[in-house]
Structure 1
Amino acid sequence: METNYATFIKKAQLEYSHRPDLVERLLCDRLDWTKSDLIYHLQDNVPKTIQEQFFKDFEKLKQGVPLQYIVGKEWFYGREFMVTKDTLIPRPETELLVEQVLNRIPIDAQIKVLDIGTGTGIIGLTIKLERPNSLVDMVDISKEALCVATHNAKQLHADVHCFESDVCSSVTEQYDVIVSNPPYISHDEVCDMDDSVLQYEPHLALFAQNNGYAIYEVLAKQLPAVLAKNGCVLLEIGYQQAEKLKKLFQQSFPDKYISVLKDYMGLDRMLIIEERRI
Structure 2
Amino acid sequence: MTWRELLMEGKNILTAGKIEDAEPDAWLLLEYVSQMDRARFFLRQQENAPEENIRQYRDLIRQRGSHIPVQHLTGTQEFMGLEFLVSPDVLVPRQDTELLVEKLLPLIQGKKVLDICTGSGCIAIALAKLGVPKLVEATDLSEKALEIAGRNAEKLGADVAFYQGDLLENISAKYDIIVSNPPYIASEVVGGLMPEVRKHEPLMALDGGADGLVLYRRLLEQVPSHLEQGGIFAVEIGYDQGKAVSELFRKHGFERIECCKDLCGNDRVVMGSLNER
Structure 2: 5+ residue stretches without partners:
none
Are 1:44 and 2:47 matched, yes or no? yes
Letter in 2 for 1:7: E
Once the two structures are superposed, what CA deviation does each residue of 1:140-170 show, in whole Å capped at 9, x if it has no partner? 0000000000000000011110110211111
Partner of residue 270, structure 1: 269
Match of 2:199, SS?
Answer: helix
Partner of residue 221, structure 1: 221
Partner of residue 7, structure 2: 9
Structure 1: 5+ residue stretches without partners:
none
Give the CA deviation at 1:264: 1.9
Q: Trace 1:1-278 onto structure 2 (pairs within 5 A).
A: 3-17=1-15, 19-105=22-108, 109-254=109-254, 256-274=255-273
TM, length-normalised to structure 2: 0.92
- Between stretches 88-97 and 8-17, larger displacement belongs to 8-17
TM, length-normalised to structure 1: 0.92
RMSD: 1.6
Give the CA deviation at 1:61: 0.5
**Conservation of the 8 A alpha-carbon contact between 1:125 and 1:158:** yes
Give the CA deviation at 1:133: 4.3
Letter in 2 for 1:268: D
- The structure-2 alpha-carbon separation of the partners of 1:275 and 1:225, relative to structure 1 and needing over 3 Å to count, comes to closer
Q: 2: distance between equivalents of 1:133 and 1:234?
A: 16
Letter in 2 for 1:180: S
- The structure-2 alpha-carbon separation of the partners of 1:140 and 1:191, relative to structure 1 and needing over 3 Å to count, comes to closer
Match of 1:74, SS?
Answer: strand
Give the CA deviation at 1:224: 0.6
- The structure-2 alpha-carbon separation of the partners of 1:33 and 1:121, relative to structure 1 and needing over 3 Å to count, comes to farther
Letter in 2 for 1:47: P
Give the length in aligned residue pairs: 270
Match of 1:265, SS?
Answer: coil
TM superposition outliers: structure 1 runs of 4+ over 4 Å = none
Letter in 1 for 2:28: R
Match of 1:16, SS?
Answer: helix
Q: 2: distance between equivalents of 1:66 and 1:78?
A: 20
Give the fraction of aligned pairs with identical amino acids, expressed as a percent: 31
Q: 2: distance between equivalents of 1:35 and 1:124?
A: 31
**Conservation of the 8 A alpha-carbon contact between 2:229 and 2:274:** no
Match of 2:207, SS?
Answer: coil
Give the CA deviation at 1:192: 4.1
**Conservation of the 8 A alpha-carbon contact between 1:137 and 1:162:** yes
**Conservation of the 8 A alpha-carbon contact between 1:128 and 1:134:** no
**Conservation of the 8 A alpha-carbon contact between 1:30 and 1:71:** no
Q: 1: distance between equivalents of 2:80 and 2:137?
A: 19
Q: 1: distance between equivalents of 2:40 and 2:176?
A: 44
- Between stretches 157-166 and 240-249, larger displacement belongs to 240-249
**Conservation of the 8 A alpha-carbon contact between 1:139 and 1:165:** yes
**Conservation of the 8 A alpha-carbon contact between 2:112 and 2:133:** no
Match of 2:129, SS?
Answer: helix
Give the CA deviation at 1:56: 1.4
Once the two structures are superposed, what CA deviation does each residue of 1:50-99 show, in whole Å capped at 9, x if it has no partner? 11211211111111111001111111111110010000111111011100
